[in-house]
Amino acid sequence: MKRLFLCVCAAVLLTGCALFPKEEELTTTPIIEAYQQEEFKMAEVQRGELKHYETIDVVTQMINETQLSFPFDDMSYEGFYVRTGDPISEGQVLAKLSASGKEQLVGDSSELTLTAPYDGIVVYARDIEEGEKSVSGQVVLILNQSDTFILSAFTPYWDRFEIGQNYLLHYAGEDYQMTAVDAETIGITPAARPEGEDEPSRVYFTVQAPGLLLQSGQQGEVTILLEQKEDVLYIPASAITVVNDEEIVYVENADGIRSTQKVTTGMRANEYVEIVDGLSEGDKVILE
């Protein structure tokens, strides 16, 4: 009886083996092959010119800006005589309120009239709608004494700007020429320059452009060239990885085999970095 049982078990085992033909046996794919099958974005090591630009915020700083408002609430406008961009003369009536029916609220009738304190330009005029009432303290006019505007930048690159040199101001989608000026020439007491490296300080500019109307606190940009090199190897900075305080890249050879490579980097130019050692022109690196 035991022999019969053993024979039956043997037959079952043999039959079970036959369920998996040799050609369908499961195999294990090497890890390196699975890695090689993945797709990566690649970049070639290039040779050429690198330029490092820095974009710096500049802010308008009006020395002679004047804001005008009325000291009364709920009074009707008798007249609003200027618009943004209009030139003005000293003593010119710019806007006026009507005291009709509210004479008892007016202590000094001159407070019902806004006049120009100097020759200049209107850089902002509130759009007064028909029937609109006055609001005490609400700025309705902003004046500047001239059409020259002052801007400043607080930056660690202050020493890269040369007094008298022209730079491009990028403001509201347009470019304007502005000039770096000494603080004293625009009536500002200069602050002591920092002695340490990378310490910020303030730089001043003037800009004069037809149609450009600026108010205090408005912001633009200036872009300057900090450094440039010619005939150097470079790759996208995104290809660099730091491992144990060493900079490495992942490279791919002609056979498609990928490996790590230690590199020595130099100048960084925005989204690119100079390769001093470790790679050759035309080598392919993986962008991470």
Q: Tell me what pLDDT residue 288 has.
A: 65
Find residue 87's DSSP bridge partners. Answer: 121
Same domain for 220 and 197, yes or no, is yes
pTM score of the predicted model? 0.70
Is 244 within a domain? yes
User: CA 150 from chain center: how many Å?
Assistant: 21
Q: Tell me what pLDDT residue 98 has.
A: 87
How many domains does one find in the chain? Answer: 3
Instruction: Give the CATH number, domain containing residue 107.
Output: 2.40.50.100
Of 198, 98, 81, give the one whose Cα is nearest residue 141: 81
Same domain for 151 and 214, yes or no, is yes
Is 12 within a domain? no
Is 161 within a domain? yes
Domain termination site, one of 102, 119, 144: 144
Same domain for 242 and 261, yes or no, is yes
Of 139, 141, 145, give the one whose Cα is nearest residue 89: 145
Same domain for 179 and 209, yes or no, is yes
Is 9 within a domain? no
Is 166 within a domain? yes
Q: What tokens appear for 194 in the block? A: 């920092």
Q: Which residues of 70-103 are buried (b: 16+ CB within 10 A; e: fewer)?
A: bebeebebeebebeeeeebeeeeebbbbebeeee
Same domain for 137 and 152, yes or no, is no
Which residue range forms the structural domain that includes residue 108?
66-144
Q: What tokens appear for 81 in the block? A: 């005589």
Same domain for 80 and 121, yes or no, is yes
User: CA 216 from chain center: how many Å?
Assistant: 20
Same domain for 133 and 152, yes or no, is no
Instruction: Give the CATH number, domain containing residue 184.
Output: 2.40.30
Q: Tell me what pLDDT residue 13 has.
A: 40
Q: What angle do CA 65, 95, 74 make, to 5 degrees?
A: 105
Domain termination site, one of 182, 203, 227: 227
Is 184 within a domain? yes
Same domain for 134 and 161, yes or no, is no
Same domain for 137 and 158, yes or no, is no
Q: Tell me what pLDDT residue 146 has.
A: 83
Q: Tell me what pLDDT residue 228 has.
A: 94
Domain termination site, one of 144, 173, 206: 144
**Per-residue model confidence as pLDDT tens for the chain (288 residues):** 444 444 444 444 444 444 334 444 433 333 334 445 456 788 999 999 999 999 999 999 877 889 999 998 889 999 999 999 999 999 999 999 987 766 556 556 678 999 999 999 999 999 998 889 999 999 999 999 888 899 999 999 999 999 999 999 999 999 999 999 999 998 888 888 888 878 999 999 999 888 889 988 999 999 999 999 999 999 999 999 999 999 999 998 777 778 899 999 999 998 999 999 999 999 999 986
Phi first, then psi: what are they for 112, rounded to 5°?
-85, -5
Same domain for 84 and 114, yes or no, is yes
Is 37 within a domain? yes
Phi first, then psi: what are they for 23, rounded to 5°?
-70, -10
Q: Tell me what pLDDT residue 171 has.
A: 95
Phi first, then psi: what are they for 171, rounded to 5°?
-140, 130
Same domain for 130 and 76, yes or no, is yes
How many angstroms separate the first and last alpha carbons of the chain? 69
Find residue 142's DSSP bridge partners. Answer: 67, 124
Q: Tell me what pLDDT residue 157 has.
A: 95
Instruction: Give the CATH number, domain containing residue 240.
Output: 2.40.420.20
* Cβ atoms of residues 218 and 170 within 8 Å: no
Q: Tell me what pLDDT residue 15 has.
A: 44
Residue 260 neighbours by CB under 8 Å, 6+ apart: 248, 249, 250, 251
Same domain for 73 and 136, yes or no, is yes
DSSP state of 15: H
Is 6 within a domain? no
